[in-house]
Structure 1
Amino acid sequence: MTPTDLFQSLWNDYIDRLCPSADKVHQLLEEDEALINDHIALRTFNLAPLGLETLARPFIELGYQACGEYLFESKKLVAKHYEHPDPLQPKVFISELKVAECSAQLQAIVQGLVAQVDERQLTGSDFLFGGRLWELSYADYQVLAAESEYASWLAAHGYGANHFTVNVNQLKHLHEVQQVNDHLRQAGFTINESGGEVKGSPQVLLEQSSTMADKVEVRFSEGSYTIPGGFYEFAKRYPLPDGKLYTGFVAASADKIFESTDSR
């Protein structure tokens, strides 16, 4: 599998299961050439056999390298981002929940989910867009959601791209992130306003925004319920002193982007 194949599979799952509206956003923003995907984001628990490194392995096998580490204390998360030697390949942002820092009730539920995972399911790369590897009750989902939106989202959806990201630098008619927001709002989309519509600034070399997550139907043991799914992000990068565009992430901004999947 090539990086192109993997990201196409991730995209197909994303627009089918997690963020169907992304296809419309894509059409609204695409101009005379294919949109460049700046990065995707993946979520996981830091419990064996899962964990950040497990999700990173298929990308590393395709040539990706770890480039930055991030801490989100209030959300009990750590993250890394990965880049490919080919700068046209999307960056990958992988985060994991530090389960041991959460309540005993959350730990027990998550441990029960992870105990259902067969390590043989984690070979290759198909599990990255395979959804849940466990069964989950809606009652447990609600318990997780009361403490950690991140934990409840991951428990409900399993593995797949939490979001894709349009590279705003590429756009010819919408030069600013705020212009993208305005354009999408006029088309009926809701923009994440947590921390301001535009997170970051030219001073920190990165500006970001995102839609609020789609509401999607998910199967639980008691039946199907509608909950937040994935969202679409937009990023504009600014040049470093050497003229190359900044390729990292800003933790304070990413912290607010996480809230695109909050229930509302």
Structure 2
Amino acid sequence: MTQKKNTPVSGPHQSIPASNERETFTSIFLDHLWARYRKRVSYIAAYETIIASAGARFFNDHIAFRTLAATRPQTGVSSISRIFEALDYRASECYEFPQKHLNAIHFQHPNPQFPKLFISELKTWELPAKVQEIVLPVLGTHRDPISEETLSRLCHLDGVQGSDHAELLQSVVNEIHDLPWSAPQQEDVVNVNKASQYAAWVLVHGYNVNHFTSLINAHAVESLDDIEKTVGALSAAGVPMKENIEGSPGSKLRQTATKAVVVDVEIRDGEQMSTMPWTYAYLELAQRDKIENSQTGETVRFEGFLGSQATNLFEMTKRS
């Protein structure tokens, strides 16, 4: 289903100083993703009130996306990463989660003010045969992949007037927001969820943002200068939080999150279109510490991810 024409949005990414037209486009694109996510994740309003009252600021550390990897059609990380690669993002590091049948790639932009991307994929061939029999026919209805023409236009934005970008922006926003396959049967989603909550999530949400992430280091005020204080402020505001923090005090990366909100998703009930409630997204909090660069000896902030911690955060969208 094609969405309505994009209207101007405001958000945290358009404040990033852009050095070229592609960066300007990227910031607007990311703010469109933020706007829909913010509207659907009610806890964002509470977080924004907290940081505004404290005089802090929000810096988006990373955005997470989920995909299903298959061969017919060819799907997985590349289903959406090509868009970001055309906008100058580059693969930085790979991660494996064998127990969850997942791979992930962390993408980085040359402008460090832009958020990192964490795009994961579930290897469908590792699922039980009965689950594959449900998932693969749905993937078989996948829309055509993004065209080389669209990727080329993204890659050659510099020198093109911004007024000519509206249609292109609409098309890439739709690539993320529109369900890329036919809505699944309600019974099938429930059955897939028993084997893989990740697979069920992607079936109903497609390539929509899984979470944005507040970088605690950027708060720059004493009242919110560590992850415990920020969790305390959110809890006091009535925001339900993950029970524990991933990473001990002093470690190079500490993470936690709000609980995931529940939204209505489109499904089929026999021949009829319908909706059902399903977990959607959450706000992650990340606190990054300094490490020593093994090659230069320089002290730098850790900018990667830790597989063991990400494993637990995948569970935030678990649906009982």
Shift of residue 154, structure 1, vs aligned partner = 0.7
Letter in 1 for 2:43: S
Query: Residues 35 and 166 of structure 1 are in contact (CA less than 8 Å); yes or no, is this contact kept in structure 2?
Result: yes
CA deviations over 1:114-165 (Å, ceiling 9, x no partner): 1111215675633443241221111011011101110011111111110000
1:180 aligns with 2:216: no
- Distance, in Å, in 2 between the alignment partners of 1:38 and 1:144 is 31
Partner SS state of residue 97, structure 1: strand
- Distance, in Å, in 1 between the alignment partners of 2:122 and 2:281 is 18
Letter in 2 for 1:24: A
* Aligned counterpart for 2:126 among listed residues 101, 104, 108: 101
Could you tell me the percent identity over the aligned residues?
29
1:226 aligns with 2:282: no
Query: Residues 184 and 204 of structure 2 are in contact (CA less than 8 Å); yes or no, is this contact kept in structure 1?
Result: yes
- Indicate the residue corresponding to 2:257 in structure 1: 210
Partner SS state of residue 225, structure 2: coil
More displaced stretch, 75-84 vs 197-206: 197-206
Within a 5 Å distance, the mapping from 1:84-233 to structure 2 comes to: 84-120=109-145, 125-133=172-180, 134-171=182-219, 172=221, 173-193=223-243, 197-201=244-248, 204-222=251-269, 223-233=274-284
Letter in 2 for 1:217: D
Letter in 1 for 2:280: G
- Indicate the residue corresponding to 1:258 in structure 2: 314
Structure 1 unmatched runs, 5+: none
Query: Residues 13 and 160 of structure 1 are in contact (CA less than 8 Å); yes or no, is this contact kept in structure 2?
Result: no
- Distance, in Å, in 2 between the alignment partners of 1:174 and 1:32 is 10
1:9 aligns with 2:32: yes
Query: Residues 163 and 232 of structure 1 are in contact (CA less than 8 Å); yes or no, is this contact kept in structure 2?
Result: yes
* Aligned counterpart for 1:244 among listed residues 300, 308, 311: 300
Partner SS state of residue 50, structure 2: helix
The total of aligned residue pairs comes to 260
Q: Rg larger in 1 or in 2?
A: 2
- Distance, in Å, in 2 between the alignment partners of 1:114 and 1:127 is 18
- Indicate the residue corresponding to 1:24 in structure 2: 46
Letter in 1 for 2:248: S
Go from structure 1 to structure 2 and tell me whether the alpha carbon gap of 1:26 and 1:216 turns closer, same or farther (over 3 Å shift).
same
Partner SS state of residue 36, structure 2: helix
Letter in 1 for 2:45: D
- Indicate the residue corresponding to 1:61 in structure 2: 86
Partner SS state of residue 125, structure 1: helix
TM-score normalised to structure 2 length: 0.76
Shift of residue 186, structure 1, vs aligned partner = 1.1
More displaced stretch, 105-114 vs 243-252: 105-114
More displaced stretch, 175-184 vs 122-131: 122-131
Query: Residues 130 and 160 of structure 1 are in contact (CA less than 8 Å); yes or no, is this contact kept in structure 2?
Result: yes
- Distance, in Å, in 2 between the alignment partners of 1:108 and 1:26 is 43
- Distance, in Å, in 2 between the alignment partners of 1:113 and 1:244 is 45
Question: Please, what is the CA RMSD of the aligned residues?
Answer: 1.8
Letter in 2 for 1:71: E
- Distance, in Å, in 1 between the alignment partners of 2:76 and 2:136 is 13
- Distance, in Å, in 2 between the alignment partners of 1:106 and 1:227 is 19
Query: Residues 183 and 266 of structure 2 are in contact (CA less than 8 Å); yes or no, is this contact kept in structure 1?
Result: no
